Every structure is written in structure tokens, then in C-alpha cells.
Structure 1
Amino acid sequence: MLIVLPPSETKAPGGAGAPLEFSRLSFPSLNPVREELVAALSALQVEEAMAQLGLSERLRGEAEANRELFSAPTMPAVERYTGVLYDALDAATLPDRRQLAVGSALFGVLGADDPIPRYRLSGGSKLDRRTMKSRWGASVTEALSEVDGLVVDLRSGAYQQLGPLKRAVTVRVESVLDDGTRKVVSHFNKHHKGVLARELADKRADSIDDVASLAEAAGMTVEVISDTQLTLVV
């Protein structure tokens, strides 16, 4: 099983790893596009990057970080990304992270322990007037299609579009409101996907029913909607 997480806009600074080496990244078939994107992003002057990526003055430091992609220190991808989902995942305490991967606008998809620098590029960004979807084409889908076994795709919509995989199990998180209706709430969606990923990280699942059973064993309320879709009710 491979669990594909969404990335986050916020990323931990620093790192103790050697600078970026594409040969150390998982899914090597993605390296040609990765190299092209990293070169294009790092070549942008700060003002140009802020304009192309739609960054405010408050985020100038992130545009500056993009200039150092080839020289900045790295850290494992699953530790680089921060925020609600990654707080719930608490990857540093997981005994085994080999079943975790992370979707990325810059790198396509990464293994949890792939060493990457801090960067700023979103799934909805345009770089030199080209969308990330057009740049990645079918390459992310093809890379994920080569994964043996079940793929649980927890990416958000923008990142699923960069590499959709029809056979993957997707998860929707619905919060129950006071009047009994349900709604997708961003905070709870991210938190509970992180909790689910943590529960699945060191387990075996060969089918959507296995995923549902593991979630239920962890105390979650789960509905199997179809052969490829689960709903967590929170």
C-alpha cells in the first residue's frame, strides 16, 4: 500500500541534509520534469517570482528561498511539510514511513524520506505562463500507476489533477453539523486525513474494505461509498 499525502504551503525552514540531488528522489521517471521546474523556479528573480506566484510582501522570504533550491540544505519531505495534517500525522514518531508519499507541484510525488529543500510552488501556480498540470502531463499518473498494490490518495483536488489515478482509493471527510447535515470543513478534513494516514502507515491493506476496517478499528466512523471512495464522518 502507498498513502499519498497532500503537500502544504507552509514548510519547515533549514535542514541538515546535503543539497538537492535528483538521484536520491523516489519515482526517478519524474526527474526530467523535476529538473526543468527546479531550474525555472530558481532562475526567477525575487520580484518576478512574487508576481508569477502571487506572493504578498509578507512571503518575500519564500520567493528568496526559491533562489537557493540547488544549494539549500534538505530534510525528509514528510518533515519539510507542516500544518494541520502533518501535526496529526506526527511523522517523526512513526516507526515505519515507507508506505507514505507526498504529492508536490515541484517534484510530482515524493517518498516520505526523500530529501528536499524549502520551496514555494503551489498546484495552482503558473510558471512562465504554464500551469503545473500542463508541465506534468501524464508523468505523475504513469509513475503512480507503476506502484504495486493499493494506493490511498489523500491529495486535495488541485494535486490530484497533477496526476490522477483512477484505481486509487480517495477519502472525503464530512463534519456533522448541529442540525445533522454534513459539510466538508478544511481544518477537520486535514486533521482527520492526517490521523488516518498515521493509522495506515505501518499496516497492510489490499482493498478499500481493508482500509475501512483499519479506520474503524481506530475508532473512526467510515462509509464505503464505492469501490474507490471512502467517507470519514466526524
Structure 2
Amino acid sequence: MLPKYKRVIIKLSGEALAGDKGFGIDPGTIKEISHKIKDASELGVEIAIVVGGGNIWRGRDGEGIDRATADYMGMLATVINALALQDALEHTGVDVRVQTAIDMKEIAEPYIRRKAMRHLEKGRIVIFASGTGNPYFSTDTTAALRAAEIDAEVILSAKKVDAVYDSDPKLNPNAKKIDKLTYIEVLNKGLKVMDSTAISLCMDNNIPVLVFGLDNPENIVKVLCGENIGTIVKED
């Protein structure tokens, strides 16, 4: 199989690492995901990953906690996930680096754009953790920002739902799958592809977003090779 893209950002939600548990990190799930990321890397694709922290802590769930403090707690949760993913990938034989937007030099490199790009050029996988390093910005926005900075061709947004629908498929059995969307349609319809800041950033920099389901980890390789699954968000 020949890859369609040369350099990508994979946006992994924290929930994707929890498996069926819904909370924490499921060793079997993270191992399976890591093997498929390795398969993708062996196609010659340069891969950077932005991982969320929702399986451990969401800033917006911090009821009674100052919003900025809650967001910083969420950033630390993404570091836990990034280190777990790094370990799992290294066990598959892949060379990996974690870079954090908040300096914690004892466990990870600081985020340096040129260094990240150099790692990618050498075939290493780079995991971006701790969001943008600022409260009030989601890991969706981090994915869009890092994609623009490292010249990624596409953001591959791995979710528990296999595509974007016109309504919640869990609540509405007649929900219709949407194959293609423009950035403006996502914003105007309030579709939960990524938050509005992230979508606006992608629109400004013409970065496509491909939403696909991670229920089958094989989908990582499939989307990289251009198979028509999920939903693509881009300009007309």
C-alpha cells in the first residue's frame, strides 16, 4: 500500500486510550493502537501525535475549580497519556520523542518547532503533550496549531464515532453520515468535529481534517492510504 500523505498529525482523544473502560489507560487498547501507528510509520509517513487527557481529567469538568487551574490539570493529564503512548510505541521498536509545551525537562523535551521537524525527518514519531501550554485552549486547537507549524498535510482526528453525522448517532438511529464538509459548514452548523478555534485555524491555513473511527485501529493505515472512510473537512 502506498500512503497518500507524507507528514500528518494524528489527534488521539484521551478516551481512545481508555478502551471500553471509559476511564484511565487500558494496556490492551494502547498496545493495539501503537502497533497500528507503527504500521503507518513503516509506510514512510512522518507522524506527529497530539493526545488528549479526557480519560483522566477534562478542564471543563472541574466544577468549583478555577478554570485556568482546571485546564492546567488537563494539560498534565495529556502528559501522562503521552508517556504511556511513548512507552507502548517503544515496545514495538519505534523511535519516539515526547515534547511538552510546559517545561518538564526530567521527563520530556520542551516543544521546539525545528527540533520536532528534525525528529520527523529522521523517521521518529513525535508526541505533543500539555496542549498549547495555555489555559482556555483545547487539544483540538493544539492539533491545528502544531499542524500549521510543522507543515502537516492533514489532521487525522481519531474518535470513537466513525464519522461526522447530522445528529448524535447514539441518540438518533436515523442519523445520517456526512462524507464531506467545508470549514464554514462545520462552524455554521455547530458540528462537533473540533472546537471552533481549531476549525478556524485549519481554515486559515487550509489544513484538511479527516475524522474517522478508532473502533478498528486498522483505520489508521486505511486513512493514510486514502481509503474513503470517515468524513473529510476542507475547502470546496
Q: TM-score range by the shorter chain?
A: 0.3 to 0.5
Greater Rg by CA: 1
TM-score by length of 1: 0.32
TM-score by length of 2: 0.32
